[in-house]
Amino acid sequence: MNNFEFKTLLFIGIIVAVILVIKFLSPSKENKLPYVLKTSWLTKGETKILEGIAEAGYFPFPKVRILDFVRYEYGRKIPIQYLSQVSSRSVDFLVCDTETFSPVAIVMCSPNDFVKRLSGKLGIPFIVIRKNTSPEEVKRIVLAGIQGEKNE
């Protein structure tokens, strides 16, 4: 082995060693993720709504994806426009029966025409409740909405 070959192999060896040291000394990929835990999953206003729904005797499930509680009708090919309408959408609160966990109402913190139409198709009430509403008022609105009284 001549001097040039030796220096070339030594140079390559040093490069490989440096790469290995950097790889093993660098933090894991998990530590490089750019995320931090929120201090609360819900805002103060959303927490009041959740409390009011629970006081009304129902299970409030916050921030539920629409695809988690609806399915497509049997025997129908799913056109992409219908899939795209629900694939990334969610409701603020899905109100469910405490015994069967069946959805009984959808609560949104602001009006949403699509979700309102969807709730009509599903046969469950669409209820709009502002975030600054007291838990007692939320309870009254939810009970009235489920019993069929006009909310909007």
Strand partners, 106: 94, 126
The answer on pLDDT for 151 being more than 60 is no
Q: What is the pLDDT of residue 44?
A: 92
For 62, the token pair is 């916050």
Instruction: For residue 144, give the nearest of 128, 132, 130, 131 by alpha carbon.
Output: 128
Residue 4 clears pLDDT 90, i.e. is over it? no
pLDDT confidence of residue 113: 96
Q: What is the SS3 assignment for the chain?
A: CCHHHHHHHHHHHHHHHHHHHHHHHCCCHHHHCCCCCCCCCCCHHHHHHHHHHHHCCCEEEEEEEHHHCCCCCCCCCCCHHHHHHHCCCEEEEEEECCCCCCEEEEEECCCCHHHHHHHHHHCCCEEECCCCCCHHHHHHHHHHHHCCCCCC
For residue 152, pLDDT over 60 is answered with no
Domain boundaries, the chain: 3-31, 44-146
For residue 128, pLDDT over 90 is answered with yes
According to DSSP, the β-strands at 126-128 and 103-108 are parallel
Please give the residue that has the higher pLDDT: either 72 or 118. 118
pLDDT digits (tens, 9 = 90+) for 95-122: 999 999 999 999 999 999 999 999 999 9
Give the whole-angstrom CA distance, residue 18 versus residue 49. 56
CB 53 within 8 A of CB 60: yes
pTM: 0.74
Give the C-alpha separation, 99 to 150, whole Å: 26
6-64 pLDDT per residue, tens: 777 777 878 877 777 777 776 665 567 888 898 988 999 999 999 999 999 999 999 99
Say what the pLDDT of residue 149 is: 63
